A = this chain, B = another copy of it.
């Protein structure tokens, strides 16, 4: 594997010092920022994540902050999910679409107050779209990227670790809700969320200066819990069917194709850009959709490009993420499959970068 060349453009994070001290071995780039990909090895990290607790530098989940009288109106213009019932203190997973219904991002919207929101973004410069819309529609709202860097605590021992640093009350945070918790005299948003299926929290660290003190406090407090530095795991997230923008979906795809139709209330999401296009899709249904794909044989190579899914000589989809799963003893994968072949149990062939493999389309993910 080639090296990643350092430059200021690939931004470091408030936790980089801790990540380096923990011996990070691989990186990817996400929102122009370094995101660790493994420490011991992807497999070793995977087992540890499922058994203990990890601290993840996910500062690359940058925030787009909306502030002002038109903040809520703008937020609703961005997504087909109906936000009218959303109260402050809630996090909503919101597909963001352009005027044709193509996905621009799949962030988590954090409602701090009626006139103040954070959009915790996946890998695209969503702020450019948001600013363009706000400018074009002359909305009364300030938009910027604040100095807020999420730090995730993930794994079955997350509650125990978090309680030691933030107090017992963190245990009461419900899924996709947040509370305000003190650390060194500063009040931070702590949400029960994260990019794994192992449970845990995301701490929205406001102020870069707080990064390493919090990192160290968590590492210190969790020593007997076997806490380690970790990161979103390329095996675990595929087992769990957690999609990755840029990998499993792009602006070519509608939310419905991505299996995110349940987050679209297009009828009632008045003002949403792309509403007309999505009403059409909602009516007719998508012709292709995200599916779990079980790829037979030995471990597949890294999925560094879309692999065609074939039925005979006909291309009926593509695999966009794949990894050998030690727990499920197969290659778990995520792909987009045409409706003619998306039923559970359909046999297909995946053209990996190292040759064809037999595979089976699955209705459900593994975990």
* CB of A118 within 8 Å of the partner chain: no
Smallest Cβ-Cβ distance to A127: which chain B residue: B128
The 8 Å CB contact of A9, one of B2, B28, B302, is B28
Whether B128 lies near A246 (C-beta < 8 A) is: no
A135 and B26 contact, CB distance less than 8 A: no
- Residues B8 and A246 in contact, CB atoms below 8 Å apart: yes
Contact A7 B302 (CB under 8 A): yes
Please tell me if the beta carbons of A29 and B26 are within 8 angstroms of each other in the complex. Answer: no
Q: Which of B28, B123, B129 contacts A131 (CB 8 A)?
A: B129
Stretch at the interface among A157-165, A196-204, A258-266, A303-311: A303-311
User: Contact residues of A with B, CB < 8 Å?
Assistant: 1-10, 12, 24-29, 32, 37-38, 98-99, 104, 123-126, 128-137, 234, 244-247, 273, 302-306, 320-321
Q: Is the CB of B246 within 8 A of A32?
A: yes
Q: Report how far A147 CA is from B37 CA in the complex, Å.
A: 30
| From B26, B126, B306, contact of A3 by CB (8 A) | B26
Q: Is the CB of B136 within 8 A of A7?
A: no
Shortest distance from the beta carbon of A33 to any chain B beta carbon, whole Å: 10
Separation of A7 and B247 alpha carbons in the complex (Å): 7
Q: Top 10 closest A-B pairs, CB basis?
A: A136-B136, A132-B132, A9-B246, A6-B304, A125-B125, A128-B128, A29-B29, A5-B37, A128-B129, A4-B4
A43 CB to nearest B CB, Å = 14
**CB atoms of A99 and B38 under 8 A apart:** no
Give Cα A27–Cα B2 distance, bound, in whole angstroms.
Answer: 7
